Chains A and B, each alone.
Chain A
Amino acid sequence: MTAPSSPPPLVRVSNLVKHYHRRGILRTSTERVQAVDGVSFTIPAGETLGLVGESGCGKTTVARTVLRLEEPTSGSVRFGEVDVLALRANDLRTFRRRMQIIFQDPYGSLNPRMRVGQAIGEGLRIHRVVPKRDIPERVATLLAEVGLDASAARRYPHEFSGGQRQRIGIARSLAVEPDFIVCDEPVSALDVSVQAQVINLLTDLQQRRGLSYLFIAHDLAVIRQVAQHTAVMYLGHFVETGPTTEILSRPHHPYTQALLSAVPEPDPSSQRQRIVLRGELPSPAHPPAGCPFHTRCFHPLKDSRCSTERPALRAVGATKTACHYAED
């Protein structure tokens, strides 16, 4: 899904699979939950891949396995020349410097008993980014870069608002000078007026430092603001991938169309047709056979093929779509 003009990919993920095993109450049976079922993508240096989908679709599991916060069941993750899944514990720790994560909840991801300066300086110290005596100065530079006053270093997380805490989280991940940052719903918990501040900060940092982002969100309007490419996920599968502008203006997969039509737009004059999906998201422990979306699909040509044969991602128009009848 990389356009020909794009720089070479920094992150290259192929056939990533993550299954969880859930034991029954009597521990006599186990149930296999397919959180991620064979996804592939690349992210060029300095670009953003947006990952959208509803809760339980597996988007956070993708992020966690790419960073090896969890071991994938199978697949490959390459970071530049490095085979991430082959790294041993020691090498992995050193390598972590190059990839960082920002979480949704800036309250839960900062140690409440650690001063902000310590929290940001921790990575600098562990990875020996700068000599020990230079740490306070570097912390001040990082705070300035995310738009906070140097005096913030002496304060505790609870003294800050949600948006300011998210800035602290960003400064903390920048400290070790990563090339790649996973942003896991970084603005979902913030008020709209503050959300815009953080989105602008993340795009500025990307331009200034040439960062690559894997940006997870459920809000397509946020994705439009940050991501050049987008992957739409449903029940552990990518159902559509492509340039964000194409996904948003000419979606081919029925699920993408439904997702897009459900986004509430603050504009009463937008005459978009609302597609209201029937039924419930199936459990990832019992995914439907064939196309994962067929149980809720509204495509007029839906037939027995959809419930038996899994459609592969293929080029349809300017995007890649996993639907047997995407052309019609």
Chain B
Amino acid sequence: MTTLLDVRRLTVNFFSEAGTVTPVDDVSFQLAKGETLALVGESGCGKSLTALSILQLLPRAASIGPGSTIELDGQDLVPLDEAALRAVRGARIAMIFQDPMTSLDPVYTAGSQITEAIRAHRNVGKRQARERALELLEEVGIPDPLSRFDQYPHELSGGMRQRVMIAIALSCEPQVLIADEPTTALDVTVQAQILEILDRLRRSHDMAVLLITHDLGIVAGRADRVAVMYAGRIVETAPTDRLFQHPAHPYTQALLASVPRLTGPLQRLTPIQGTVPNPDAWPAGCRFHPRCPYAFDRCQQQPPVRAVADGHETACWLESPQ
């Protein structure tokens, strides 16, 4: 498979009166054409900032650190100016967010927001854009698109709003779709609908999808590969099945052990002791070591990334933590 998006040594710095913190620290991953890569981690691990830096939509106080590269089809996006970035955002890389209510404009109808997105990037007339918008609404599984076209966001349910967001994201046939917790605010049955739509569209449009989530459950059976983030770093990358069957990093193992299951023997949950540290208090060396049951002297130094198997990498000093 050919690499479409190549993120290397990505660092994000946050500046404040209290000093500089680095919530994303030396993150590298590749996304191939037509592939779904899941970026998984708990709150504050830096997964959303990683996604935002790809489109350079970071908050004002944050910036991408020197030495970071984000290549799309061989072109580095980091040095691009605003005008050049606008030609990338939406058109080549699109993004959908957790809360569709805040990303849609409440004073415009669903239909007008889709047509606006189409006309911002394509030289088409109003009528053509409207027709394309109706097609898109149909494609994202909105029943009776003609009547939904003229509705305002508040008149739509959470699931419908997220579909409208997906329609907007698809309007310019992007090569990459970044989905940041796209179903976290939705009920499970609606979540299932949205995930199914995303998967179908990825296939029919041959898009690459970067799925950002805290939920290992939605990763299983949906993503081709998984990258697990902890405290600003990727600690493990593996093909999805392999990650669930042979997790190599103690954090991945502990995370999988702490999730309540629907099947299998019913037993007491095994939580991870302690809490996720804040970026201003990240420990030296392996950042998981204060909570790790296997930690030893060497964990005071940062472990290098090493290959465990084909396509399976981890950053841990232990050969086989069991």
On whether the beta carbons of A193 and B272 are closer than 8 Å, the reply is: yes
Residue B306 CB within 8 A of the other chain: no
On whether the beta carbons of B43 and A221 are closer than 8 Å, the reply is: no
On whether the beta carbons of B260 and A268 are closer than 8 Å, the reply is: no
User: Given A196-B269, A196-B270, A281-B157, are A268 and B244 also a contact pair (CB < 8 Å)?
Assistant: yes
On whether the beta carbons of B189 and A193 are closer than 8 Å, the reply is: no
Which residues of B188-203 are within 8 A (CB) of A? 188-193, 196
Range for the number of chain A residues in contact with chain B: 35 or more
Q: B189 contacts which chain A residues (CB < 8 A)?
A: 54, 258-259, 262, 276-277
Which residues of B220-268 are within 8 A (CB) of A? 220-221, 240-241, 244-245, 254-256, 258-263, 266, 268
Closest B residue by C-beta to A55: B187
In Å, the complex CA distance between A161 and B143 comes to 43
In Å, the complex CA distance between A219 and B240 comes to 23
Which residues of A263-319 are within 8 A (CB) of B? 263-270, 274, 276-277, 279-281
Residue B219 CB within 8 A of the other chain: yes
Which residues of A171-194 are within 8 A (CB) of B? 191-194
On whether the beta carbons of A266 and B192 are closer than 8 Å, the reply is: no
Q: A260 contacts which chain B residues (CB < 8 A)?
A: 262
Which of B217, B241, B258, B263 contacts A195 (CB under 8 A)? Answer: B258
Residue A222 CB within 8 A of the other chain: yes
User: Given A191-B214, A197-B271, A200-B269, are A264 and B220 also a contact pair (CB < 8 Å)?
Assistant: yes
Which of B157, B188, B261 contacts A259 (CB under 8 A)? Answer: B188
On whether the beta carbons of B263 and A277 are closer than 8 Å, the reply is: no
On whether the beta carbons of B275 and A164 are closer than 8 Å, the reply is: yes
Which of B43, B143, B217, B255 contacts A265 (CB under 8 A)? Answer: B217
Q: B193 contacts which chain A residues (CB < 8 A)?
A: 276-277
On whether the beta carbons of B217 and A193 are closer than 8 Å, the reply is: no
On whether the beta carbons of A248 and B187 are closer than 8 Å, the reply is: no
Closest A residue by C-beta to B243: A268
User: Given A262-B192, A264-B220, are A192 and B275 also a contact pair (CB < 8 Å)?
Assistant: no
User: Given A54-B187, A276-B193, A280-B157, are A199 and B269 also a contact pair (CB < 8 Å)?
Assistant: yes
Q: B255 contacts which chain A residues (CB < 8 A)?
A: 192-193
Closest A residue by C-beta to B193: A276
On whether the beta carbons of B220 and A267 are closer than 8 Å, the reply is: yes
Residue B215 CB within 8 A of the other chain: yes
In Å, the complex CA distance between A203 and B187 comes to 26
User: Given A193-B255, A197-B271, are A267 and B261 also a contact pair (CB < 8 Å)?
Assistant: yes
In Å, the complex CA distance between A267 and B215 comes to 12
Residue B172 CB within 8 A of the other chain: no
On whether the beta carbons of B196 and A263 are closer than 8 Å, the reply is: no
In Å, the complex CA distance between A163 and B83 comes to 44
On whether the beta carbons of B258 and A263 are closer than 8 Å, the reply is: no
Residue B160 CB within 8 A of the other chain: yes
Which residues of A92-112 are within 8 A (CB) of B? none
On whether the beta carbons of B192 and A248 are closer than 8 Å, the reply is: no
On whether the beta carbons of A225 and B43 are closer than 8 Å, the reply is: no
Report A267 CB to chain B, min CB distance, Å: 6
Closest A residue by C-beta to B257: A196
In Å, the complex CA distance between A183 and B114 comes to 42
Q: A54 contacts which chain B residues (CB < 8 A)?
A: 187-190
Residue A211 CB within 8 A of the other chain: no
Report A131 CB to chain B, min CB distance, Å: 35
Closest B residue by C-beta to A226: B260
Residue A12 CB within 8 A of the other chain: no
Task: Report 24 cross-chain contacts, Cβ distance below 8 Å, ordered by A residue.
Answer: A54-B187, A54-B190, A55-B187, A192-B216, A192-B255, A192-B258, A193-B42, A194-B272, A195-B271, A196-B260, A258-B189, A259-B188, A261-B192, A262-B191, A266-B216, A266-B219, A267-B244, A268-B220, A268-B241, A270-B220, A276-B193, A279-B143, A280-B157, A281-B157
Known contacts A196-B271, A224-B260, then 13 further A-B pairs from the complex at CB < 8 Å, ordered by chain A residue: A54-B188, A193-B255, A194-B275, A195-B260, A221-B261, A221-B262, A224-B262, A265-B217, A265-B220, A266-B244, A267-B220, A269-B241, A277-B189
Show the binding face of A for B, using Cβ within 8 Å: 54-55, 161, 163-164, 191-197, 199-200, 203, 218-222, 224-225, 248, 258-270, 274, 276-277, 279-281
Show the binding face of B for A, using Cβ within 8 Å: 42-43, 143, 157, 159-160, 187-193, 196, 214-221, 240-241, 244-245, 254-256, 258-263, 266, 268-272, 275-276
Task: In the A-B complex, list the 8 residue pairs whose CB atoms are closest, starting with the nearest.
Answer: A264-B217, A196-B271, A193-B272, A54-B187, A196-B269, A266-B216, A221-B260, A197-B271
